[in-house]
Structure 1
Amino acid sequence: MDLYELQLSNPKLFPQFSVKDTLVLYYTCPQRDEIIQLYSKHIQILFTLSGKRIQKHGDQIWEHSTGKGELVKRCAFLQELPADYSGWDTLVFYVKDKYLRFIFEEFRSYLSLTDLPEPGKEIIETFEIDDQIRSCYASFLPYFGNNKPIPESVLENKFKELLFNIFSNPKNKHILAYILKIVDRYQTPIWEVMEGNYWYDLKMQDFANLSNRSLSTFKRDFKKHYQTTPGKWLTNRRLQRAKAFLETTDKTIGQVVYECGFENISHFSRVFKKKFNISPSAFQKQGPNK
């Protein structure tokens, strides 16, 4: 599920306004299912105002709660309700690369760009919130539900101030290092996108979005790296993951299907039997190394 498009198309459920190329939302998360699969094709800067949510990506787990800001990279992930669920009020800024570059160039001479760490591989980077940052993001809240016309320049200056305070905080050098990658037009390798997201049930266009490429460029770069088509590679990679789960865990067939990115059980059973000459249920019953 494309989180950005879902929220953009439901302004009543997700109150919002735009600042230049940035979508700003302030809402109480309506999630009711225990776990949902989502993906974001744009970078998010996120502040939890109350409550909590859990996000999972592979073996990594993050808990969104008050006290820290979070930069969520382009990625697919699972979002889970915590055991002590009591709502989740969040303020989110979706920022596109082009606008980030524009703002960064305005800030460049005021930022310390020496001794930056290597950009992290995690899909979510937490960052420090000080009084200035807190004051900046809190200043957006009164504008939600306010029908009074507001010059876009007022909101843009607020957003620029927020970003500058995040980037210039000495404890947020890891965030600055990641932003610098974007500014320098670093393109995420195809293998990194695929190996980090293949087990999610995403369309080809979704993978292209995560890699920040057009669909045609994504397919061309994929073929150049893997020497096969994305569809064939995904099926094979997901089958290998599913086979390992059936050999080494007690997961049900339904759980394996969900956690390996297959459309449904019948589709999974068909391609599994074609690949391994045995049905998933029979393979699971025979156990490992038999």
Structure 2
Amino acid sequence: MKSKREDFGSIVYSCYTQLSRQGEHFVYDHVLSYQISGDLILNDGLNDYSAKDGSIRFLRRNQLLKFTKQPPPNGEFKSLSIYLNQQTLKDFSVEYNLISEKKEYNKHLCLFNDSPGLQNYMNSLLFYYDVGKLSDERLVDLKVKEVLILLLEEQPELKNILFDFNEPGKMDIEAFMNKNFHFNVNLDRFAYLTGRSLATFKRDFEKIFGITPGKWLIQKRLQEAHYLILEKGKIASEIYLDLGFEDLSHFSFAFKKHYGTSPSKII
């Protein structure tokens, strides 16, 4: 069976038969996902989070993550995800008079593995998928409302995340970039996440680092690569994706240009 992704509006079914290291991912909308089979490893730049069969996780929007999808032996990686877009949440907040209280919420993800209500909800989605009912937009709309009600019952403080419609506020560029330099995303994404326009981001960045963002990112990633190879015994093929390079040849070319020798010759 080939890998596939089936999109039913706000609900997405995914199936992979091979190891999938899709590198960087910007979480644009809040998403609740059910791990049907296989293992998923998420990394937020500091920590790894592992999801096993049967796990249910909530990821908040406006964050950067790396993820690795590992199918079980001779099996398939399967997941079911509900994407909670801003318009849906705005409509729901008006209908039920729900307002964010602007409280601090620093969790990158929440696990709901012990929730019978959400487990039964996911089983109902799988049933509708199996019988071909998820193509009905009316049903999908109702199931999205249902899951919002269940989430708020399980964790009422999620109201302060789900119904906070503000864009990211201005933050410390230096701290943010030193944490997230290995995410392979466009500069406009870094600008957005630090609460700036692209032009302001570039101007503020050069004031702090004395170099353009593009040049700094390459240098920072290569410095980390040099350290990992020389001090930790890593090889180029193990680290280039984790450091934000799109492919091995690009990494090797940039490394040789910067250090005067290929990665394999500095050990």
Moved more, 36-45 or 187-196: 187-196
Counterparts of 2:159 and 2:134, CA distance in 1: 35
Counterparts of 2:27 and 2:162, CA distance in 1: 16
Q: Using the TM superposition, give the Cα deviation of residue 166 of structure 1 relative to its aligned residue in structure 2, in angstroms.
A: 0.5
In the alignment, is residue 250 of structure 1 matched against residue 255 of structure 2? no
Amino acid at match of 1:251: K
Q: Using the TM superposition, give the Cα deviation of residue 165 of structure 1 relative to its aligned residue in structure 2, in angstroms.
A: 1.6
The equivalent of 2:221 in structure 1 is 238
Counterparts of 1:35 and 1:156, CA distance in 2: 31
CA RMSD of aligned residues (A): 3.8
The equivalent of 1:183 in structure 2 is 165
Distance 1:252 1:147, change over 3 A: closer
Among candidates 14, 17, 27, match of residue 8 of structure 2: 17
Among candidates 230, 246, 255, match of residue 272 of structure 1: 255
The equivalent of 1:6 in structure 2 is none
Q: Using the TM superposition, give the Cα deviation of residue 128 of structure 1 relative to its aligned residue in structure 2, in angstroms.
A: 5.7
Q: Can you list the C-alpha shifts for 1:166-214, whole angstroms capped at 9, x where unaligned?
A: 0232xx256444335x334444748476444432444556x3698398x
Distance 1:67 1:141, change over 3 A: closer
Distance 1:185 1:175, change over 3 A: same
Q: Using the TM superposition, give the Cα deviation of residue 223 of structure 1 relative to its aligned residue in structure 2, in angstroms.
A: 0.9
The equivalent of 1:71 in structure 2 is 58
Q: Using the TM superposition, give the Cα deviation of residue 55 of structure 1 relative to its aligned residue in structure 2, in angstroms.
A: 1.3
Structure 1 gaps, min length 5: 1-9, 286-290
Distance 1:165 1:249, change over 3 A: same
Q: Is 1:193–1:210's contact at 8 Å kept on the other side of the alignment?
A: no
In the alignment, is residue 55 of structure 1 matched against residue 41 of structure 2? yes
Q: Can you list the C-alpha shifts for 1:145-174, whole angstroms capped at 9, x where unaligned?
A: 53698462x4323311211220232xx256
The equivalent of 1:46 in structure 2 is 33
Distance 1:186 1:173, change over 3 A: farther
Give the alignment's TM-score, normalised by structure 1: 0.69
Q: Is 2:11–2:80's contact at 8 Å kept on the other side of the alignment?
A: yes
Distance 1:75 1:176, change over 3 A: same
Q: Can you list the C-alpha shifts for 1:25-82, whole angstroms capped at 9, x where unaligned?
A: 234x21403644252442321012x323121314522222345421124423131426
Give the alignment's TM-score, normalised by structure 2: 0.74
Q: Using the TM superposition, give the Cα deviation of residue 251 of structure 1 relative to its aligned residue in structure 2, in angstroms.
A: 0.5
Q: Is 2:38–2:69's contact at 8 Å kept on the other side of the alignment?
A: no
Among candidates 163, 187, 205, match of residue 226 of structure 1: 205
The equivalent of 2:96 in structure 1 is 107
Tell me, what secondary structure is at the counterpart of 1:259?
A: coil
In the alignment, is residue 126 of structure 1 matched against residue 115 of structure 2? no
The equivalent of 1:288 in structure 2 is none
Among candidates 121, 143, 146, match of residue 132 of structure 2: 146
Identity percentage of aligned residues: 19
Counterparts of 2:186 and 2:166, CA distance in 1: 28
Tell me, what secondary structure is at the counterpart of 1:119?
A: coil
In the alignment, is residue 87 of structure 1 matched against residue 70 of structure 2? no
Distance 1:142 1:259, change over 3 A: closer
In the alignment, is residue 165 of structure 1 matched against residue 156 of structure 2? no
Q: Using the TM superposition, give the Cα deviation of residue 83 of structure 1 relative to its aligned residue in structure 2, in angstroms.
A: 6.7
Amino acid at match of 1:14: R
Amino acid at match of 1:52: G
Q: Is 2:16–2:78's contact at 8 Å kept on the other side of the alignment?
A: no
Amino acid at match of 2:78: D
Q: Can you list the C-alpha shifts for 1:115-134, whole angstroms capped at 9, x where unaligned?
A: x6x31253x33236533333
